Structure 1
Amino acid sequence: MALYEFEGRCPTLVDQERCYIAPGTHLIGDVHLGVDSSVWFGAQLRGDNEPLIIGDGSNVQENCVFHTDPGCPLTIGTNTTIGHGVILHGCTIGSNVIIGMGAIIMNRSIIPDNSIVGAGSLITEDKQFDEGHLIIGRPAKAVRPLNDEEIIGIAKSAQSYIERGQRFKKSC
């Protein structure tokens, strides 16, 4: 794990004892990690232009790349799962969301609460969607509302990574 100050801005962890940051991860500049959040091996989070905020209980899996542009902060809500290899660029991700592996989400796009973005999806700039939908494709579209079981599954995914992060913290 490497934490880098950039132009006087440093990464912050709300509660270092309750966050897990894997080796090989880089947090640069104005990056904020909430309680019970985790950032996994190889992830690169760069808050050099605007704040980059990861909410409580959210997880950023291996090899993700996050960046901000001037005027485009990056915010992730609570209990959200960001899958392996996702690229997020100056966007807003709500709470209780899954972003599938390899998805790309561009500046000023908004993914609302209780949503799933399918693996490999591309969300171009300035896109917004209704809450509680499955969003898939290149370019992505909302294809249907999520059912109750799927929304519960999103919360279970986030909880499993909270627990996994604590296991890794004790073991590694």
Structure 2
Amino acid sequence: MKENKIYPYLKTKPEIDDTVFLAPGVKIVGDVKIKAGSSIWYNTVIRGDVNHIRIGENTNVQDLSMLHVTFEKYPLIIGNDVTIGHSVTLHGCILEDRTFIGMGATILDGAVIESNSMVAAGALVKQGYIVPSGKLVAGVPAKIIRDLTIDEINNIADSAKRYKKYAELTLKSLKVTDDL
């Protein structure tokens, strides 16, 4: 099993709650704080080198995602109960509580994804764009498609709960083996 790499940057070390699940291959650098119950999945990179990154409680960042910041201008702030799909790029943006970011989406500097909103897979959210609460955005560049249904909004919180359970199960079963 690959070890996770947690690196200080200058004199700042990442602060990761003891309950956070880190899958093998994760790299975390610098001024990064990750709160309780969150999970960071295989080969994700979280670079808080030139600004800070904050990840709230019960948030999941799925495989191969890239999280970064902009020097002196845009930190990366992620709220509670957020689901970030596979291969997402987040750069100096804000994701409020209970947001869902689809696989392969890119969210650029200064963008804000308000609570109970969804960014579709493959979408590009431009610099400074604000996704209002309760909306679905899609496309390149991302545009508002429609209001989310109550079921879709409820599924955002449910997704975060499911990933917390997946992390617990994976932690119990993940073992190094040469028997393939």
* Residues paired across the two proteins, number: 170
1:37 alignment counterpart: 38
Equivalences for residues 62-77 of structure 1 within 5 A: 62-70=63-71, 71-77=73-79
Q: Aligned to 1:144, what secondary structure does the other structure show? A: strand
Query: Match for 1:38: what amino acid?
Result: S
Q: Aligned to 1:107, what secondary structure does the other structure show? A: coil
How far off is 1:92 after superposition?
0.3
2:7 alignment counterpart: 4
Query: Match for 2:11: what amino acid?
Result: G
Q: Aligned to 1:159, what secondary structure does the other structure show? A: helix
Q: For the Cα contact (< 8 Å) 2:88–2:104, is it kept in 1?
A: yes
Q: Aligned to 1:161, what secondary structure does the other structure show? A: helix
1:46 alignment counterpart: 47
2:178 alignment counterpart: none
CA distance in 2, matches of 1:167, 1:2: 22
1:163 alignment counterpart: 165
Q: For the Cα contact (< 8 Å) 2:117–2:131, is it kept in 1?
A: no
Deviation string 1:47-104 (CA, Å, 9 cap, x unpaired) is: 0011111110000000000101121000110000000000000000011111000000
Query: Match for 1:37: what amino acid?
Result: S
TM-score (norm 1): 0.97
Equivalences for residues 1-172 of structure 1 within 5 A: 1-14=4-17, 16=18, 18-70=19-71, 71-172=73-174
CA distance in 2, matches of 1:93, 1:130: 11
TM-score (norm 2): 0.93
Q: Which has the larger radius of gyration?
A: 2
CA distance in 2, matches of 1:121, 1:32: 27
Deviation string 1:79-135 (CA, Å, 9 cap, x unpaired) is: 000000000000000111110000000000000000010000001111112111001
Q: Which ranges of 4 or more aligned residues in structure 1 deviate by more than 4 Å?
A: none
Residue segments in structure 2 that go unaligned for 5+ positions in a row: 175-180
CA distance in 1, matches of 2:16, 2:168: 15
2:177 alignment counterpart: none
Deviation string 1:123-167 (CA, Å, 9 cap, x unpaired) is: 111111211100111000111111110011111110000111111
Between the two proteins, what is the percent identity of the paired residues?
Answer: 37
